[in-house]
Structure 1
Amino acid sequence: MKRQKRDRLDRAFSKGFQAGIGGRSKDLCPYANLDSKSQWLGGWREGIDGRLSGLFNK
């Protein structure tokens, strides 16, 4: 049985979160589509907040 791919917006959020945890700049967002870009930036913001509050050390 084939695995279904995750929703594209969920994937964009997850990738943004990982970028935020890693301390990457929000200017490096790879998405041009407005919906995907907003999801990526939302994940990035949460990753940055978590990193700044000390939840993640990298």
Structure 2
Amino acid sequence: MRRQKRDMSDRAFQRGYQAGVSGRSNETCPHSNDDQRLCWLSGWREGRSDQWDGLTGVSGVHKAVV
């Protein structure tokens, strides 16, 4: 649990993925640090692509984002 809190880039990716899957705009990125912003946007892009492919809700359970 503590390791997850320390790895801010992975956490930013996860949060970006969740934002992308839920359909939020990429303008809602909360990070000002360039590295974390890039990770968040990468996650957001992957989340949006999964949303467009229909991998949301129960049909997206098989997609493991770790």
Moved over 6 A (4+): none
For normalisation by structure 1, the TM-score amounts to 0.89
Secondary structure of residue in 2 paired with 1:39: helix
Residue 41 of structure 2: aligned partner: 41
CA-based RMSD of the aligned residues comes to 1.0
Unaligned runs of 5+ residues in structure 2 are 58-66
Among the aligned pairs, what percent are the same residue?
Answer: 45
Which structure has greater helix proportion? Answer: 2
Letter aligned with residue 26 of structure 1: N
Alignment of 1:12-31 (within 5 A): 12-31=12-31
For normalisation by structure 2, the TM-score amounts to 0.79
Greater relative contact order, per chain length (Cα 8 Å cut-off, separation 6+): 1
